[in-house]
Structure 1
Amino acid sequence: MPHLNPYIHFNGNAEEAFTFYKSVFGGEFETVSRFKDFSNPEHPFPEHELNKIAHISLPIGNNSYLMGSDVPEMLGTVNEQENRSKISITAESKEEADKLYNGLSAGGAVEMPIADSPWGAYFGMFRDRYGIEWMVSFNEKH
């Protein structure tokens, strides 16, 4: 069975964001690569971008990863207020759902407080302090 691994982009603060995510999920980064690691004389990165994140991955649970990078300025910027997608997390308990919801939403904007939903799940939605949208749920029937 395939595994889905969200890959999110940032405007120069990927390292800060992933340090925050690591504080909530725990674990250690599997990969941290910077633009300087991919330096090419034919296509050099500007000096001020060399320490930005080219790729970072954080293992989450079994066989899942949260991955991301900064977007080089030559490619434009990420719209941090977009509303195209959300990262959905299914917790294994109500306590874990609360921990993840409260941890990840700290400093962000709550869209739907975590609570029992009409469809039977314990569910909440928010945009974290980095503009990433999340859904956290727990359903004891699944």
Structure 2
Amino acid sequence: MAKVNVYLLFNGDCEEAFNFYKKAFGGEFQMMSRFKDMPPTEGQLPERSELSERILHVSLPISEETVLMGSDGGGDWAAQHRVGNNFSVSISAESKKEADSLFNALSEGGVVTMPMQKTFWGEYFGMLVDKFEVGWMVGWRS
């Protein structure tokens, strides 16, 4: 069965927010990476952009079952960012087949924002907004 977690999107204050959550819940970050850590890709952030220090991905376990995750997803590359819709439901599938099945079912009548594909961080991953305007991230790590 897939695991479901909340993925929070921020517009420049992700690090501050997650330090706040870390203080509240305790524990340590499993991962914290910045946009400057991405491999160079055409159309991505300029090399010396003020956005390069923003958080690409952070994860903080808050229980045995739950990981709070987030990113600085605002700015020009996420024009839909609004306080109140600044989250996605993140699904960690147990298999590639399950990831595809969930992604296909959830995207029916919705909008695929990133098709399922192998990513630079080693996960098979995709994103969509369903027909009820809920954001979903679906991933599987072999």
Counterpart for residue 3 of structure 2: 3
Q: Greater relative contact order: 1 or 2 (C-alpha under 8 angstroms, separation 6 or more)? A: 2
RMSD over equivalenced CA pairs, Å:
2.6
Structure 1 CA distance for aligned equivalents of residues 85 and 32 of structure 2: 26
* 1:60 counterpart (51, 62, 71): 62
Residue 42 of structure 1: how far off its partner (Å): 1.9
Q: Deviations over 1:49-89 (max 9, x none)?
A: 0000010000111032000101153222521144999xxxx
Amino acid at match of 1:76: A
Question: Cα gap change, 1:42/1:64 in structure 2, threshold over 3 Å: closer, same or farther?
Answer: same
- Aligned residues: percent identity? 45
Residue 3 of structure 1: how far off its partner (Å): 2.4
Amino acid at match of 2:45: F
Instruction: Confirm or deny that 1:80 pairs with 2:83.
Output: yes
Q: Counterparts in 2 of 1:46-125, with a 5 A limit?
A: 46=46, 47-71=49-73, 72-76=75-79, 78-82=81-85
Structure 2 CA distance for aligned equivalents of residues 20 and 33 of structure 1: 17
Instruction: Confirm or deny that 1:42 pairs with 2:42.
Output: yes
Gaps of 5+ in 1: 86-142
Amino acid at match of 1:23: K
Tell me which structure has the larger Cα radius of gyration: 1
Runs of 4+ in 1 over 3 A off after TM superposition: 81-85
Residue 2 of structure 1: how far off its partner (Å): 3.3
Counterpart for residue 101 of structure 1: none
How many residues are matched? Answer: 86
Q: Which has the higher strand share?
A: 2
Kept in 1: contact 2:6–2:69 (CA 8 A): yes
SS of residue paired to 1:74:
helix
User: TM-score, normalised to structure 1's length?
Assistant: 0.53
Question: Cα gap change, 1:83/1:32 in structure 2, threshold over 3 Å: closer, same or farther?
Answer: closer
Kept in 2: contact 1:39–1:45 (CA 8 A): no
Structure 2 CA distance for aligned equivalents of residues 84 and 69 of structure 1: 10
